[in-house]
Amino acid sequence: MTGAAAVMTTEEIRGDAPRGVTMEEIRAAFIDMIRIPSVTGSAGEEEACAYLEKLLSRHGIAGERIAKIPSRPNLLAVLRAGGGKDALESGGDNLPPMVLISHIDVVDGDPGKWTHPVFGAVSDAGRIWGRGTLDTKHLTMMELYAFLRLAEMRNRLSRDVYFLATIDEEGGSAYGMEYVKSVRPELFAGAYVINEGGGFPLHINGRDYMMLTVGEKAVCKVRIWAEGTGGHASAPGDDQAMLKLAEGLERIFASEAELNCGSRRTHDTMREIVGSDEWDNPVGADIYGYAGQNSIGMRNYQIGERSNVIPARAETVLEFRVLPYASEQEIAEYLGRQLAGLPVRYEIMSYEPGFESHFENSRLKEFIGSLNEACARRGFSGRVLPMLALGRTDGRFFGSEGSMVYGCSPLLMGDSFDVVLPKVHGCDESILEESFTFGCQVLCEVIEKNCLKEENQ
């Protein structure tokens, strides 16, 4: 971990006195950030971190680098409730901290397949084009806009607010959020987190909705194998490892529907809000189905090494994606039932728990309420619809029972989920200019609503 400040010239340090943030400034910074090719593991990660550090310092806020190795820093900045600048701990009465997270590393792009340069941030047809415009530098800038606005009103903060931009999210987060958690565990206890993964609109059954992620599925990896008698391929015997494994797999996949564990609260809430089980938007229908069922996938398999030899062992790895709060034990029991009596063995290699925001506590309702209001005020008439994130994000390091991790970078209908999904990690990633402005304003309003005391209080 290093606490080194950004390398700045004396002029920059003396520079202008802190001033209020504007949309023009944030848009310009967004363009600059897209032009930094911060591909995971490249020098661009550090460059993007330094850029944000400098921007914060222009507003009088010192960022702290948190780095496993100095060339791959994450950036943390803090606003203390009550305006305390140097307080090490927040006052006793304050609410749990709000943590604004996003990742500033990006996946690479194939320039031959893009309409505009991958890191060009070209403005064309009302859109800004470039890697990171949706995953997730747009969110970084939306959060930063809100953070800098809050900085101007820090005397009214009801909770501490953290801005945390990480690297290595696309590489598994060992240098990013996982490392930050290992050295700053206090940030992760009971925090109120704004994350990536949601905020995309969808048109379902004649109405507009804004998807808000409120949880993530658990991922469990299981090695499963069978042994038999090996030998030359010219004389296959009855005792073949491959055939035994195949029978085991057939049973496991045939009974997938019996893997009936975990919470379906998000799924049920989705049905309630849309008012139907039949969704006419295919992407929406997939997202709805995903929140209601467990699935098993086969990652890879290892059967023999030479074409003329019957292998003595056949092995594969299954990946279970199960609903929040489905336990490792429940998966083990399911496997035990399916494989009973078969000469097939299994071993749980890893289990990463899922999570879901607490539906019984009022914070989710409050959050949805303030998001609905802010959207309506900015001309988006749809309703907020909760969902489970489609995969795992850095939010998993914050998720736990009763957690408050919301995936929310609000966008307009022109950047609906159907439009956005193929572009993330694909080509021609781009965001509508007006979506970006809308997202900055809406998220800022929601964050202010949840972090500021009423005036005159």
Query: Nearer Cβ to Zn ion, position 122 or 424?
Result: 424
The C-alpha atoms of residue 120 and residue 430 are separated, in whole angstroms, by 11
CB of 425 to Zn ion, least distance (A): 6
Query: Nearer Cβ to Zn ion, position 380 or 406?
Result: 406
Listed ranges 128-136, 211-219, 294-302, 404-412: which one lies at the site for Zn ion (CB under 5 A)? 128-136
The C-alpha atoms of residue 435 and residue 13 are separated, in whole angstroms, by 34
CB of 169 to Zn ion, least distance (A): 7
Listed ranges 130-138, 210-218, 399-407, 438-446: which one lies at the site for Zn ion (CB under 5 A)? 130-138
CB of 407 to Zn ion, least distance (A): 12
Query: Nearer Cβ to Zn ion, position 169 or 445?
Result: 169
The C-alpha atoms of residue 75 and residue 90 are separated, in whole angstroms, by 20
Centroid of chain to Cα 150: 23
Contacts of 117 (CB under 8 A, 6+ apart): 111, 130
Altogether, the residues listed in the chain come to a count of 457
Query: Tokens 């029991």 belong to which residue?
Result: 333
CB of 145 to Zn ion, least distance (A): 21
CB of 186 to Zn ion, least distance (A): 27
CB of 102 to Zn ion, least distance (A): 11
Query: Nearer Cβ to Zn ion, position 57 or 213?
Result: 213
Which spans in 129-187 are helix H? Answer: 137-152, 177-183
Query: Nearer Cβ to Zn ion, position 119 or 367?
Result: 119
For the chain, what is the radius of gyration of the CA atoms?
24
Residue nearest to Zn ion (CB): 135
Query: Nearer Cβ to Zn ion, position 46 or 135?
Result: 135
The C-alpha atoms of residue 65 and residue 268 are separated, in whole angstroms, by 42
By the 8 A CB rule, do 280 and 200 touch? Answer: no
394 makes contact with Zn ion (CB under 5 A): no
Listed ranges 17-25, 110-118, 127-135, 429-437: which one lies at the site for Zn ion (CB under 5 A)? 127-135
Contacts of 162 (CB under 8 A, 6+ apart): 76, 77, 78, 79, 97, 98, 99, 100, 187, 191
The C-alpha atoms of residue 322 and residue 440 are separated, in whole angstroms, by 33
Beta-bridge partners for 194: 100, 406
Listed ranges 135-143, 239-247, 291-299, 373-381: which one lies at the site for Zn ion (CB under 5 A)? 135-143
The size of the interface with Zn ion (CB under 5 A), counted in residues, is: 1
**DSSP of 231-294:** EETTS--S--HHHHHHHHHHHHHHTGGG---S--HHHHHHHHHHT-S--SSHHHHHHHHHTT--
Query: Nearer Cβ to Zn ion, position 356 or 394?
Result: 394
Query: Nearer Cβ to Zn ion, position 39 or 187?
Result: 39
CB of 429 to Zn ion, least distance (A): 10
- Phi, psi of 140, deg, nearest 5: -55, -45
Query: Nearer Cβ to Zn ion, position 64 or 135?
Result: 135
For residue 157, which amino acid is it?
A: L
Query: Nearer Cβ to Zn ion, position 303 or 421?
Result: 421
CB of 103 to Zn ion, least distance (A): 8
CB of 135 to Zn ion, least distance (A): 4
The C-alpha atoms of residue 245 and residue 14 are separated, in whole angstroms, by 69
CB of 226 to Zn ion, least distance (A): 37
The C-alpha atoms of residue 404 and residue 194 are separated, in whole angstroms, by 8
Listed ranges 133-141, 204-212, 323-331, 384-392: which one lies at the site for Zn ion (CB under 5 A)? 133-141
Listed ranges 134-142, 151-159, 381-389, 396-404: which one lies at the site for Zn ion (CB under 5 A)? 134-142
Q: How far is CA 230 from CA 227, 249, 300, 302, 365, in A?
A: 9, 20, 21, 14, 60
CB of 91 to Zn ion, least distance (A): 37
Listed ranges 25-33, 129-137, 234-242, 291-299: which one lies at the site for Zn ion (CB under 5 A)? 129-137
Query: Nearer Cβ to Zn ion, position 45 or 135?
Result: 135
The C-alpha atoms of residue 1 and residue 5 are separated, in whole angstroms, by 12
Among 64, 135, 394, 415, binds Zn ion (CB under 5 A): 135
Listed ranges 131-139, 324-332, 338-346, 395-403: which one lies at the site for Zn ion (CB under 5 A)? 131-139
Q: Which residues of this protein are in contact with Zn ion, per CB under 5 A?
A: 135
